Amino acid sequence: MNRHSLTTVLILTCLFLLVGKTHAWDDLPPIPDINNPYSQFVCVGCPVQFDGSTSYDQDEAGESIEHWYWYYGDDGYWHDDGPTPTHTYNAPGAYLVWLHVEDDEGTESLEDDCCIVYVVKVDKVVEAGTTNEGPLYVCPDDTVNLQAKPYPAGVPFPSGEPYWKIVSQPSGANAYLSPSSGSATTTLSSLGKPGEYVVKAKCGNNDTGHTITVKVVEVESLLPNEGTEIDDGDNEPNTKLFVVCVVPPSPPSTLTVTATPNPSVSEADLPACWTLTGGTGTGKLTRTVDKTTPGETVITCTCNTSMKKTTIWVVRGEVSLASSWACDGQQVNVDLILTPAGVENHITSVQWQATVPSGVTNYGSPSGQGLTFSQRSADITEWRIDNARWYSNQADHCNDGADWEIEAT
């Protein structure tokens, strides 16, 4: 190679190096920057505002970013949406969002910036601290703590969410939620009316949300399957008194007292504050009372402020005559002896009946002849047979005999 040829090669090499160096300096890749928190939390169906405006070009002053390509993670495409786009996610989940930029010389970023968007909805509503999705059974005037569970699980709800609402409640009820928004937990209070309360939690306006049903249970009634109700004198509708007569020790020798919840609830689902005491048995809805022995049994059912009390008197009554016989025209005192003592204070009337015993013929007794009774004092148990005569209204001596069987009810 001659001198002139070597000089030409060196010049070309220098020019190449110079051009190469200048190009490297003038064409540095731009830097993408998502000017958002690395993690964002939004409700499903709510728009997300992204900010890539702090992305920059490393080249000389005056050069700039021309394209902001966003990959939102929900459709598989890149979108040239500018520096501050909004995007709406219609399905819950975790989305990895990427930003790729290109400058005005067509140079693209070598590395992309990213952030995570958690799109949240209410997955379920449970009793706080449990996995119980309801129905929940509680007593009147209880308070109920509720909790909204998010999807995806374990992420927080966006600020100000979820929103709580009582969807339905019994007529005349005034239940309320506190707080009504901005917290994953809330307290349902003022449950004075029995019935169903339906509560919903939702994240944003486009979340269908989830509900939970709370049933407030009262004691509707506490009644025996037999017996006669009498006035217990206390003017209290929640206490009742029933009388049944002693029976021989043969079936059925017991009566059953049943507590009825409102709304209807199985024994297994009764609220914890429901109690049933008295009588025989351990069930929460039924107790039995022995009818073979006179006495008093008090059965009480309570559900917080709701209460019913039923007293059962098993009564033995005996008819006592001052004399088991009388001459025609005589009066005979007859008493009703009741056990247990004190029953007579709650009896307002006694009915007497005299019948001819089976197989007995009262000789000479005209058709329709019978005995009449009158109360002889203020004591409801003290009575008198007024016409111990069977034939002659005028006779003052004993004639032929007549037998009567006397019964009091």
pLDDT tens digits, residue range 196-211? Answer: 999 999 999 899 999 9
Please give the pLDDT value at position 312: 94
Domain extent for 143: 121-216
Length of the chain: 409
Cβ atoms < 10 Å from Cβ of 68: 22
Final residue in a domain of this structure, among 120, 150, 185: 120
Do 109 and 44 lie in one domain? The reply is yes
Within a domain: 41: yes
Do 381 and 337 lie in one domain? The reply is yes
Do 188 and 260 lie in one domain? The reply is no
Within a domain: 138: yes
Please give the pLDDT value at position 407: 78
Within a domain: 75: yes
The tokens for 194 are 């029995």
Within a domain: 45: yes
The mean predicted confidence, pLDDT, of the chain is 85
Local structure of 182: helix, strand or coil: coil
Please give the pLDDT value at position 63: 74
Do 125 and 153 lie in one domain? The reply is yes
Res 404 pLDDT > 90: no
CA atoms of 195 and 218, how far apart (whole Å): 9
Please give the pLDDT value at position 116: 96
Report, as an integer, the average pLDDT of 101-117.
Answer: 94
Q: Which residues pair with 124 in a beta bridge?
A: 149
Do 167 and 236 lie in one domain? The reply is no
CB crowding 315-338: b at 16 or more within 10 Å, else e: bebeeeeeeeeeebbeebebbbeb
Instruction: Tell me which of 324 and 106 has the higher pLDDT.
Output: 106
- pLDDT more than 90, % of the chain: 61
pLDDT category at 8 given cuts 50, 70, 90 is: very low
Comparing 100-109, 185-194, 208-217, 358-367, which segment has the lowest mean pLDDT?
358-367
Please give the pLDDT value at position 303: 95
Please give the pLDDT value at position 291: 92
Do 132 and 200 lie in one domain? The reply is yes
pLDDT tens digits, residue range 360-381? Answer: 665 544 444 567 788 888 888 8
CA atoms of 258 and 279, how far apart (whole Å): 11
Within a domain: 272: yes
DSSP 96-135: EEEEEEEETTS-B-SS-EEEEEEEEEEEEEEETTS---S-
Sign of the four-CA dihedral 80, 85, 88, 89: positive
DSSP 141-165: T--EEEEEEEESTTPPPPTT--EEE
- Contact indicator for 84, 53 with CB cutoff of 8 Å: yes
pLDDT category at 6 given cuts 50, 70, 90 is: very low
Report, as an integer, the average pLDDT of 18-32.
Answer: 60
Do 152 and 197 lie in one domain? The reply is yes
Within a domain: 189: yes
Please give the pLDDT value at position 21: 33
CA atoms of 357 and 190, how far apart (whole Å): 65
Final residue in a domain of this structure, among 105, 120, 135: 120
The tokens for 249 are 């020790």
DSSP 299-368: EEEEETTEEEEEEEEEEEEEEEES-S---TTEEEEEEEEEESTTGGGG-----EEEEPPTT---TTPPTT
DSSP 217-285: -EEEEEEESS-EEE--SS--TTEEEEEEE---SSSS-EEEEEEEEES---GGGS-TTEEEESSB---SS
Do 329 and 244 lie in one domain? The reply is no
pLDDT tens digits, residue range 219-249? Answer: 999 999 999 898 878 889 999 999 988 877 7
Res 263 pLDDT > 70: yes
Comparing 122-131, 181-190, 210-219, 360-369, which segment has the lowest mean pLDDT?
360-369
CATH number of the domain that residue 65 is part of: 2.60.40.10
pLDDT category at 405 given cuts 50, 70, 90 is: confident
Within a domain: 3: no
- Contact indicator for 50, 97 with CB cutoff of 8 Å: yes
Our count of domains for the chain comes to 4
Instruction: For 265, list phi and psi in degrees, rounded to 5.
Output: -140, 140
Do 68 and 95 lie in one domain? The reply is yes
Instruction: For 336, list phi and psi in degrees, rounded to 5.
Output: -105, 115
- Contact indicator for 103, 65 with CB cutoff of 8 Å: yes
CATH number of the domain that residue 261 is part of: 2.60.40
pLDDT category at 129 given cuts 50, 70, 90 is: very high
Within a domain: 16: no
Instruction: Tell me which of 78 and 248 has the higher pLDDT.
Output: 78
Do 73 and 147 lie in one domain? The reply is no
Res 398 pLDDT > 80: no
pLDDT tens digits, residue range 320-356? Answer: 887 777 666 677 888 888 888 877 777 778 888 777 7
Local structure of 400: helix, strand or coil: coil
Please give the pLDDT value at position 360: 62
Please give the pLDDT value at position 362: 57
Comparing 24-33, 145-154, 385-394, which segment has the lowest mean pLDDT?
385-394
Please give the pLDDT value at position 365: 47
The three-point CA angle 215-221-226 to 5° equals 145
Of 31, 28, 30, 32, nearest to 99 by C-alpha is 32
For the entire predicted model, the pTM comes to 0.76
pLDDT tens digits, residue range 303-314? Answer: 999 999 999 999
Do 310 and 326 lie in one domain? The reply is no
Final residue in a domain of this structure, among 182, 216, 250: 216
Do 49 and 128 lie in one domain? The reply is no
Instruction: Tell me which of 344 and 49 has the higher pLDDT.
Output: 49
